[in-house]
């Protein structure tokens, strides 16, 4: 994705969106959810935010009822080279001659192209990771070694014998290869690494750089491909040209203010496999546009934690969507957070609530009805709850850590 103004990028994305909504409406999976939507009106973020959120549980149930894709794919069978499996399991599609997952954009940002040999250390067995990076490597003109994710000594030997120039795989496994190479007294030939499916620690990046391996990280989801990727580690991640990203309060479809942490929703712009407002279960934040970034594409921070904060209280499962229902019942609630603690072998649920104006006084009854537990209601001043994306804070096991986004500058 070349450098353009944010307004230009947004305009082109939202010009394509009505066509994507129309393509989705023609699919059985979306027939009911989008039946009353006029695609021509979905041309802004505000309009997109009015559409329903698609969650993994719904997609999985649909695929069980109508295999393999649950009515969420339009590509005819002759166009498919792969059926790909993501955790859940959730099944997706792939074509060997197209960058279906958009991972090719990530590899191109890493400088991968003709003449490179990519040692693909993502798994191929019942996994979408290996095929994603395999197809993407070929699309950008590179040669692929389908290496998989085991046998560090054999991997080091193959890399040296073949002169592999690019590592693709989890950052943890690259650390293992570096350690194995040092144990064998040899040097890895990789000039760069495209890593995903794991946390890239600052120390790892420095370790790789000291050995001549420039490392960039992608925000890649096994269900939908590349969402964003690093172009420069200090500047967060560039949102891929083939998706629209929203940051919302976990368990809802309501966007958070720019710069705050929330759940990542992704709308893909592939008309053969449209996903509209797919809830990734990951937390991140948008990096606000400043005068110094007016020519950059929209960016998000790295992963800031998990949004699927479901917890269990007295054999009952509590989900973020239930906290969202409380806010829907009481519009004066600005924010709400459940804090679960344990005292004298008894679970204690405290509901912290920020209210605009006068409280209704019915919060305890609403929480009890929605969650089936008796809470302690505590009203707190507006703006006092942390903007960390959490709506359920279970403190029974360990002291919670406020999530921080990786590979992104702090907001000013």
Reading the block at residue 207, the tokens are 């370790």
What integer is the mean pLDDT of 33-55? 95
pLDDT at 83 over 70: yes
The pLDDT assigned to 41 comes to 96
pLDDT (mean) for 365-370 = 91
CA neighbor of 263 nearest in space, from 218, 298, 309: 309
User: Average model confidence (pLDDT) for the chain?
Assistant: 88
The H-assigned helical ranges of 261-362 are 320-329
Nearest to 169 by CA among 148, 195, 203: 195
Q: How far is CA 135 from the centre of its chain?
A: 20
Contact 307, 250 (CB under 8 A): yes
> Distances from the Cα of 346 to the Cαs of 323, 349, 359, in angstroms?
21, 10, 29
Q: What is the mean pLDDT of residues 136-164?
A: 96
Question: Residue 397: which residues within 8 A CB-CB, separation 6 or more?
Answer: none
At 91-114, the pLDDT tens digits run 998 877 788 899 999 999 999 999
Tell me: pLDDT of 289 over 70.
no
* Mean pLDDT of all residues in 35-46: 95
Share of the chain above pLDDT 70, in %: 90
Q: What average pLDDT does the segment 256-279 reach?
A: 91
What pLDDT was estimated at residue 1?
A: 37
**Banded pLDDT at 400 (limits 50, 70, 90):** very low
At residue 365, what are phi and psi to the nearest 5 degrees? -65, -40
pLDDT at position 279 is: 94
Instruction: Give, to the nearest 10 degrees, the angle between helix 320-329 and helix 363-371.
Output: 140
Q: Which of these ranges, 1-15, 151-165, 284-298, has the smallest mean pLDDT? A: 1-15
Compute the average pLDDT of residues 267-278. Answer: 91
What is the CATH architecture assignment of 6-300? 3-Layer(aba) Sandwich (3.40)
171 or 233, higher pLDDT: 171
- What are the residue boundaries of the structural domains of the chain, listed by start? 6-300, 311-388
pLDDT of residue 3: 40
- Phi/psi at 280 (nearest 5 deg)? -80, -20
β partners of residue 337: 352
Q: Residue length, the chain?
A: 412
Kindly tell me if the per-residue pLDDT of 10 is higher than 60: yes
Q: Which of 3.90.550.10, 3.40.50.720, 2.60.40.10, 3.30.300.30 is the CATH number of 311-388? A: 3.30.300.30
Give the pLDDT confidence score for residue 173 in this predicted structure. 96
Q: How confident is the model at residue 290 (pLDDT cuts 50, 70, 90)?
A: low
Contact between residue 280 and residue 298 where contact means Cβ atoms under 8 Å apart? no
Asked if 41 and 14 touch (Cβ cutoff 8 Å), the reply is: no
The more confidently predicted of residues 398 and 189 is 189
- pLDDT for position 381: 92
Say whether pLDDT at 388 is over 90.
no
Q: How many CB atoms lie within 10 A of CB 321?
A: 16
pLDDT at 399 over 50: no
Q: For residue 36, what pLDDT is reported?
A: 94
Full-model pTM: 0.81
Whether 410 has a pLDDT exceeding 50, the answer reads: no
């Amino acid at each position: 994705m070349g450098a353009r103004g944010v307004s230009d990028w947004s305009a082109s994305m939202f010009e394509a969106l009505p066509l994507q909504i129309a393509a989705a409406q023609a699919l059985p999976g979306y027939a009911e959810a989008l039946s009353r939507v006029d695609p021509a009106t979905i041309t802004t973020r505000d309009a997109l935010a009015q559409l329903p959120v698609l969650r993994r549980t719904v997609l999985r149930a649909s695929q069980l009822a109508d295999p393999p894709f649950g009515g969420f794919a339009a590509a005819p069978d002759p166009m498919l080279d792969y059926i790909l499996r993501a955790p859940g399991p959730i099944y997706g599609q792939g074509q060997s001659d197209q960058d279906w997952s958009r991972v090719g954009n990530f590899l191109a940002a890493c400088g991968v192209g003709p003449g490179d040999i990519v040692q693909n250390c993502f798994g191929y067995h019942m996994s979408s990771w290996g095929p994603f990076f395999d197809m993407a490597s070929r699309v950008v003109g590179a040669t692929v070694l389908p290496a998989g994710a085991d046998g560090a000594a054999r991997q080091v030997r193959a890399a040296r014998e073949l002169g592999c120039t690019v590592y693709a795989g989890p950052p943890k496994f690259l650390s293992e290869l570096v350690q194995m190479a040092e144990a064998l007294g040899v040097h890895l030939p990789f000039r760069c690494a495209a890593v995903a499916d794991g946390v890239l620690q600052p120390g790892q990046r420095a370790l790789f750089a000291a050995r001549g391996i420039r490392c960039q990280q992608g925000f890649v989801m096994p269900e939908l491909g590349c969402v964003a990727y690093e172009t420069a580690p200090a500047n967060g991640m560039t949102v891929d040209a083939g998706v629209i990203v929203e940051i919302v309060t976990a368990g809802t479809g309501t966007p958070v203010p720019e710069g705050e942490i929330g759940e990542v929703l992704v709308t893909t712009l592939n008309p053969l496999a449209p996903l509209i407002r797919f809830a990734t279960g990951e937390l991140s934040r948008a990096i606000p546009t400043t005068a110094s970034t007016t020519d950059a594409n929209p960016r998000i921070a790295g992963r800031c934690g998990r949004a699927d904060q479901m917890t269990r209280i007295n054999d009952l499962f509590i989900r973020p969507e239930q906290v969202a229902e409380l806010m829907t019942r009481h519009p004066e609630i600005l924010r709400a957070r459940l804090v679960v603690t344990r005292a004298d072998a008894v679970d204690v649920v405290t509901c912290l609530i920020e209210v605009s104006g006068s409280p209704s006084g019915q919060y305890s009854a609403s929480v009890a009805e929605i969650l089936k537990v008796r809470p302690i209601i505590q009203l707190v001043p507006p703006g006092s709850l942390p903007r960390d994306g959490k709506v359920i804070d279970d403190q029974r096991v360990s002291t919670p850590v406020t999530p921080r986004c990786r590979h992104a500058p702090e907001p000013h």
